[in-house]
C-alpha cells in the first residue's frame, strides 16, 4: 500500500472560546456559584459570580452583544472551573476572595492591599501599654481604627501620650526599668514601671484614654476641667498646669481633623472618579466622630468598565479580610447594593448599611472625598507621564529593547557586620510598588562580618531561587545592584549558578556606583559629591559610563538608588532597635512574663541574674530547682 493509501486519522481539536463555554453550559446547574475562565497557559482570566451559573455562563456563549474586552476574554478561554455555593451572597464573598488571590487579567483589581494600622491598648499586663498595631488581632486588649497611614497613628499616639501619660515601652523594657525613662522627663509617661503612679490611678488614665478613643471626648475633657479647677482651688498649681497641658493635647487632636464630620460618627466613605481610562477610589475613615485619615487607590480595570461597577467590585475586595463599620457611604449608586450589603452584614456578623447620600452633612463628606479622588487621579496621571518619559530615557541609555515594566533594586545595610539586612525595592510605570518591597535577614553563619559580596550573594540567591520555584512569581525586566564591578559580578554568578540566562529571560542586570576620580597625585578616590552626575553605570558587556548631568534617566536612577538605600537603612535600624530592647531572659525556656518580672525585681538586672548561683535563683518565688539550674546553664553554657 502506498503512502497515499494510508488512512489519515487525527484527533479533533478541543473546543475553545464560545464553543467550550456552550459545552460547559449543558452540564451546569441553575444554582448560585462562582466560575473561572482559564487561558491556554493555565492563567485565570476572569472570576465571576452568578445567582444562576447556567444562566450567567450561557450569556458568554451567545454571539454578539459583547464589548471588545469580553470578546477577547471569551476568545482566550480554554477551560472553565466552577464552585456551587448555597446563596448568591456566599458567591459574592468567594468571588472577592478569589479575585484578591488570583488577580485575573479581566477583573477589577484592588492593587494596593496593605493592612491598615490600629491603636492598641494592650491589656495583657497589669500596666496596659498603648501602641501601634498591624495584622491579626491576637493580643488581648482594645483596638481602635483603622487609621489611613502609619503617620496618622504616630501623630495620634504622640498626642495621646501627652494627654493620658500611658506607657509605650515593651514589657521587657518595662520590667527592667529601675528609674524613670526620658518619656517621663518630658511629661509623656506617668512612669508606672517604677511606681511613680499607683496601679489604680494608672488604670484610671487608661480608662480615660479608651473613652476618648471611643468618641466620648466631651465627657473626658469635662472631667479633666473639673480636676484642674479643684487643683487650682487647692493651690496645687503644678497639678493644675499638668491637667491644663493634657486638655490642650486633647483639643489639638480634635482641632486637627481634616474634615468636619458633622453627623458622621462611624463610617467608611468611598468616592470614585474616572478619567482617561483610569480611576481613583478615595477612602475616608471616620471613627468615634473623628476623621482618622484617608487613602487613595488606583484599581486596575478595563477602559470599558463603568464607575459604579468598578466601585462595587472594589468595595467587595476591600472588605475581604477587613471588618466593615456600621455605615458605608458611597458616591455612586451600586448595581447590586442590596447583595453587597447582605455580604458585608454576614462578614461583620452585625448590621452594615450602604448609603449614597444626596444631601446634608453626609453628602458634604462624600463630596469632599470625591474632590480628593479627582485631585489624586490628576496628580497620578501627571506623574505617570513623567515616569514613562524617565523609563524611556533609562531604556535608551541602557540600550534596552523596551522600557522596563518591573525594576528591582538591591542594597545591603549593616554596622561592621552587625544586624545585617538586605533590601529589595520594586518600581514600574506607576512608580514605587511598596507592597512588593522585601527585606532579607542575613542568615549565613559563616559569613565574614561586613562582607558585602557574600551578603548580596545570599539575598539574590534567595530571591531568584524563589522565583524559579514559583511559575507565577514576578520576573524583573531590570535588576539594579547598589555597587560596582564586584557586586555586579556576584549578581551574574548567582544567576549563572541557578541556571538563569539573563539574556534569554529578558533580564538586564546593572550596577550603580560612585565614579572614582584620579587626583593630582594619581590616587583614585570616590567622588562623594551628592546630586552630581558621578553615578557610574556598570554593565557586563560595556565599559563603565556616566549619564549626562541633566538626563531624566539619571534622576530616575538616583531616585531608585536613594529609595533602596532608605528602605535598607530603615530595615537595619528596626532590627538593631529590636536587638537593643531584647532581654536575655526571653530566650530561656520556661521563663514567662511573671517569672521574668519576679527575677528582675529580685536581682535588679539581667546581668545580676547571669551572675547568680542556682541556689540564689531558687530563692525567687516561682523558680524551682530544675528551672534555677536551667537558667544557670543558659548563662554559663560553653
pLDDT greater than 70 at residue 579: no
Residues with Cβ < 8 Å from 388, sequence gap 6 or more? 403, 429
The predicted-structure confidence for 470-497, as pLDDT tens digits, reads as follows 877 888 999 999 888 899 999 999 999 9
At 397-406, the pLDDT tens digits run: 888 888 899 9
**CATH T-level topology, domain 17-102:** GIY-YIG endonuclease (3.40.1440)
Domain definitions of the chain by residue range: 17-102, 122-255, 267-380, 407-579, 584-636
Give the residue with greater pLDDT, 367 vs 517: 367
pLDDT digits (tens, 9 = 90+) for 300-357: 888 888 999 999 999 999 998 888 998 999 999 999 999 999 999 998 889 999 999 9
* Torsion 401-403-405-407 (CA) sign: positive
Instruction: Report the C-alpha gap between 83 and 81 in whole angstroms.
Output: 7
What residue has cell string 558587556?
A: 541
| 41: confidence class by pLDDT, cuts 50, 70, 90 | confident
Tens of pLDDT, residue by residue over 21-39, are 988 888 899 999 999 999 9
**CATH fold for domain 267-380:** Nucleotidyltransferase; domain 5 (3.30.420)
Domain 584-636, CATH: 1.10.150.20
Reported confidence tier of residue 532, pLDDT bands at 50, 70, 90:
very low
pLDDT (tens digit per residue) in 371-418:
999 988 988 888 788 888 888 888 888 888 888 999 999 998 876 657
Give residues with Cβ within 8 angstroms of 125, minimum separation 6: 171, 174, 593
pLDDT tens, residue by residue, 76-89: 999 999 999 989 98
Report the CATH superfamily, name and number, of domain 407-579: UvrC, RNAse H endonuclease domain (3.30.420.340)
Confidence of residue 2 (pLDDT cuts 50, 70, 90): very low
Distances (CA, A) of 594 to 74, 584, 610: 63, 15, 18
Is the pLDDT at 3 greater than 60? The verdict is no
Give mean pLDDT, residues 3-14. Answer: 52
Sign of CA dihedral 590, 595, 596, 599: negative
CB 122: neighbour CB atoms within 10 A? 18
Nearest residue to 279 (alpha-carbon basis) of 314, 322, 328:
314
Average pLDDT over residues 579-586: 65
Does the fold of domain 407-579 match that of domain 17-102?
A: no
Average confidence (pLDDT) over 52-66: 86
Amino acid at each position: 500500500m502506498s503512502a497515499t493509501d494510508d488512512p489519515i486519522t487525527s484527533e479533533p481539536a478541543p473546543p475553545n472560546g464560545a464553543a467550550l463555554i456552550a459545552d460547559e453550559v449543558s452540564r451546569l446547574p441553575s444554582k448560585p456559584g462562582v466560575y473561572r475562565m482559564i487561558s491556554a497557559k493555565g492563567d485565570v482570566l476572569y472570576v465571576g459570580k452568578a445567582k444562576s451559573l447556567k444562566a450567567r455562563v450561557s450569556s458568554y456563549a451567545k454571539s454578539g452583544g459583547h464589548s471588545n474586552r469580553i470578546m477577547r476574554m471569551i476568545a482566550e478561554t480554554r477551560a472553565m472551573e466552577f464552585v456551587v455555593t448555597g446563596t448568591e451572597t456566599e458567591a459574592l464573598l468567594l468571588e472577592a476572595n478569589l479575585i484578591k488571590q488570583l488577580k485575573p487579567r479581566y477583573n477589577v483589581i484592588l492593587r494596593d492591599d496593605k493592612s491598615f494600622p490600629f491603636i492598641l491598648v494592650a491589656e495583657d499586663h497589669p500596666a496596659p501599654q498603648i501602641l501601634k498595631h498591624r495584622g491579626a488581632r491576637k493580643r488581648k486588649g482594645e483596638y481602635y481604627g483603622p487609621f489611613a497611614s502609619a503617620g496618622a497613628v504616630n501623630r495620634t499616639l504622640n498626642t495621646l501620650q501627652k494627654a493620658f501619660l500611658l506607657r509605650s515601652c515593651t514589657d521587657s523594657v518595662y520590667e527592667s526599668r529601675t528609674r524613670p525613662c526620658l518619656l517621663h522627663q518630658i511629661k509623656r509617661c506617668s512612669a508606672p514601671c517604677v511606681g511613680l503612679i499607683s496601679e489604680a490611678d494608672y488604670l484610671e488614665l487608661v480608662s480615660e484614654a479608651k473613652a476618648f478613643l471611643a468618641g466620648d471626648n466631651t465627657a473626658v475633657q469635662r472631667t479633666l476641667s473639673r480636676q484642674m479647677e479643684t487643683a487650682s482651688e487647692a493651690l496645687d498649681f503644678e497639678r493644675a498646669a499638668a491637667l491644663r497641658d493634657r486638655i490642650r493635647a486633647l483639643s489639638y487632636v480634635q482641632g486637627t481633623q481634616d474634615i468636619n464630620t458633622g453627623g458622621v460618627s462611624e463610617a467608611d466613605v468611598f468616592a470614585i472618579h474616572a478619567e482617561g481610562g483610569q480611576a481613583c477610589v478615595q477612602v475616608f475613615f471616620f471613627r468615634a466622630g473623628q476623621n482618622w485619615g484617608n487613602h487613595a487607590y488606583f484599581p486596575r480595570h478595563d477602559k470599558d468598565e463603568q464607575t459604579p461597577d468598578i466601585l462595587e467590585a472594589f468595595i467587595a475586595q476591600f472588605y475581604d479580610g477587613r471588618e466593615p463599620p456600621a455605615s458605608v457611604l458611597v458616591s455612586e449608586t451600586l448595581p447590586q447594593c442590596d447583595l453587597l450589603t447582605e455580604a458585608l452584614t454576614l462578614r461583620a456578623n452585625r448590621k452594615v448599611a450602604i448609603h449614597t447620600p444626596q444631601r446634608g452633612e453626609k453628602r458634604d463628606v462624600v463630596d469632599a472625598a470625591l474632590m480628593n479622588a479627582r485631585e489624586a487621579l490628576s496628580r497620578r496621571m501627571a506623574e505617570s507621564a513623567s515616569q514613562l518619559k524617565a523609563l524611556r530615557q533609562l531604556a535608551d541609555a541602557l540600550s534596552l529593547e523596551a522600557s522596563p515594566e518591573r525594576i528591582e533594586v538591591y542594597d545591603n545595610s549593616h554596622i561592621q557586620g552587625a544586624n545585617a539586612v538586605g533590601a529589595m525595592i520594586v518600581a514600574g510605570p506607576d512608580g514605587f510598588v511598596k507592597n512588593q518591597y522585601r527585606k532579607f535577614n542575613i542568615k549565613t553563619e559563616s559569613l565574614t562580618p561586613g562582607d558585602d559580596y557574600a551578603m548580596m550573594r545570599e539575598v539574590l540567591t534567595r530571591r531568584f531561587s524563589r522565583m524559579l520555584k514559583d511559575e507565577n512569581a514576578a520576573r524583573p525586566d531590570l535588576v539594579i545592584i547598589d555597587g560596582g564591578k564586584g557586586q555586579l559580578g556576584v549578581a551574574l554568578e548567582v544567576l549563572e549558578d541557578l541556571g538563569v540566562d539573563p539574556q534569554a529571560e529578558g533580564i538586564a542586570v546593572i550596577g550603580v556606583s560612585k565614579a572614582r576620580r584620579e587626583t593630582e597625585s594619581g590616587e583614585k578616590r570616590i567622588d562623594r559629591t551628592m546630586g552630581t552626575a558621578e553615578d557610574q553605570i556598570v554593565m557586563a558587556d560595556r565599559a563603565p559610563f556616566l549619564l549626562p548631568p541633566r538626563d531624566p534617566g539619571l534622576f530616575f536612577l538616583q531616585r531608585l538608588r536613594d529609595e533602596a538605600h532608605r528602605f535598607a537603612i530603615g530595615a537595619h535600624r528596626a532590627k538593631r532597635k529590636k536587638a537593643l530592647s531584647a532581654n536575655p531572659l526571653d530566650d530561656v525556656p520556661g521563663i514567662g512574663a511573671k517569672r521574668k518580672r519576679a527575677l528582675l525585681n529580685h536581682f535588679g538586672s539581667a546581668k545580676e541574674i547571669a551572675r547568680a548561683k542556682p541556689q540564689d535563683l531558687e530563692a525567687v518565688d516561682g523558680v524551682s530547682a530544675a528551672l534555677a539550674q536551667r537558667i544557670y546553664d543558659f548563662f554559663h553554657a560553653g
